[in-house]
Chain A
Amino acid sequence: MQRTPHAHFSDQTHHVAERPLLLEFEHVTKFYGAVIGINNVTCHVGPGITGLLGANGAGKSTLIKLASGQLRPTQGRVTIGGHDAWSTAAKHHLGYSPDINSFYEEMTGREFVYAMARLHGYSRAEARERTEHVLDEVGMADRAQRRLAGCSHGMRQRIKLAQALVHDPWLLLLDEPLTGIDPGGRREINELLFRLAGQGKTILVSSHILVEIEQLCSSIVMMSRGRLIAAGTLAEVRQMMQHRPQVIEIVAEPSRRVAALLAEHEDVLAVEMRDPGLVIKTRNPLDFFARVGELVCEQGIEVRRIQILDAGADAVFDYLQQGK
């Protein structure tokens, strides 16, 4: 699947963005009374699709609400293209698809998107034109005449996406945009998002389905207990944790000898024989791969397959969450 241009962030320890920044969180803390929602988050989100990951209560919703100007930070600053996210000026650049299933139920999908376009100040003709264009983009042009009260969850998701896109914003905040959409529909929405990212838009997608984020996003932001625990591409996040234990499957012959040789390596924590090969847990993957290379050259070991078993977003997230 095609990946979109790179989105970038920086935490206190993370790297600096390469592109003009649009959505910025600077030392943002948000309290709900005595409860902390977000704790000193600094992160810059640039063009491309960025996934926002975190368990329930991690602070994802607070981050999205701060970015969409529904909340104001207790400390720090949230800006969209240099404008305070709370301000009206920032709203010109913002398209927001919330994680709610509420609409003006008496309207048709087309009427709703048209009304939202009009709320951006477009003339009737322009609003109508934009509405038709965006309904076509989200695959609802032929179904938008149905009243929202009678629309399926997937259709409502598409209408939410359409109202967020109708004014062609630079920044899209999508809260669980693929929930309730069938696989074919997901593919279409993903393609649309890739297209939009290709146009240089900044898209922040919140989701709890990690595989979805992995397929869709060029970068990720991970939250846990109100803190930003990692930001960057999935590979970069993995790189940040290179000294954390990693599980690697290796299919090599003769497997018993390979197991014995690898077990001698000081960074190997465990070796398990599992058909058709070995499953090895190492605390230093880079050194481990170097050692495998040496074995191939020096011992004549034949390696048929080598693969990291826990490099997916799920595993990365679990690791990071345990670490914080």
Chain B
Amino acid sequence: MKLVRAWSTLASLSFVRLFWSTSTLMVMLPLAGCLLFVLRRHYNHPEFTQREFREFSEFLIVVFASFVVPICALAFGTASIGGDREDRTLVFLLVRPIPRWLILLAKFSATLPLVLGLVLGSYWTYCRLAGAVGQVAFDIYLPAITYMTLAYVCLFHLFAVSFRHATIIALVYAIFMETLIGNLPGIVKRVAVNYYGRSLLYAAGEADGARMPENFQPLSFDVATWALAGIAVGGLILACVVFSRREYRDLT
């Protein structure tokens, strides 16, 4: 019982600290940028058209899912443990009678709802503002956006426990690996999470008019789903293992 209380205290404490952190301000910028873009493009026609759906899908896949979602995930995913590590307050948690892997899970449990809330909340807002195409897009892309968010949050927790300046490394990863390598032809793009996410998104939207780039070569919906689930579960388990075993020599 004591452990449950301690764990839930840590999760709620972490949630509050993350919510009122600079990460929240940081992610507001790209989210607000997307909002302005959607408002500017006037997608809000009352009737569904394939051309408009294709354009809105391009915005969702290329800008929102491939850039904004990883930025949101990394802002909170790396700050959850990395913030404590950089502030050197992690030592106050490590000397408490909570197993290290549970500390990480508490941090993860605080981060995930926050990121999902922001990502899915803004996604819902954009879709509402986009009228008929937005309503269609919301339903068909929702699972893919959710899986991508989950995979990124887990992956960036792994970054946070593995690297000292995790935010910078994650940012470099998000920009170069995800954007650059994720768009390369051939199988090298399989190292990027967004390749699997985009495979899901294109597979989901293709029937309604979403058009994928010529050289993309997507995976099937099922394979991409399993890949994202594997990245999420594998990343989280690996993060727990690393955090449980790792010595943080720079804390005191």
List residues of A whose CB falls within 8 A of some B CB: 32, 61, 64-65, 68-72, 88-89, 91-92, 94, 96, 98-100, 102-104, 106, 115-116, 118-123, 163, 175
Contact = CB atoms under 8 A, between A and B. Distances in A.
A160 B20 CA distance: 24
B28 interface: no
A66 to B, nearest CB: 10
29 contacts: A32-B249, A65-B252, A69-B94, A69-B95, A70-B91, A70-B252, A88-B97, A88-B98, A89-B97, A91-B95, A92-B97, A100-B91, A102-B87, A102-B88, A104-B17, A106-B17, A115-B9, A115-B13, A116-B92, A118-B5, A119-B6, A119-B9, A119-B96, A120-B96, A120-B97, A121-B3, A121-B4, A121-B6, A122-B2
B9 A100 contact: no
Interface of B: 1-6, 9-10, 13, 17, 20, 87-89, 91-99, 247-249, 251-252
B89 A119 contact: no
Nearest to A116: B92
A65 B90 CA distance: 13
**Which 8 pairs of residues, A with B, have the shortest CB-CB distance?**
A121-B2, A118-B9, A91-B97, A121-B6, A102-B88, A119-B96, A98-B252, A96-B95
A28 B8 CA distance: 36
Please classify the interface of chain A as helix (H, G, I), strand (E, B), loop, or mixed, using the class held by over half of its residues.
loop
A100 B2 contact: no
A103 B97 contact: no
Contacts of A94: 95
Contact of A103 (B3, B5, B89, B94): B89
Contact of A121 (B88, B91, B97, B247): B97
Contacts of A71: 247, 249
B249 A120 contact: no
Contacts of B88: 100, 102
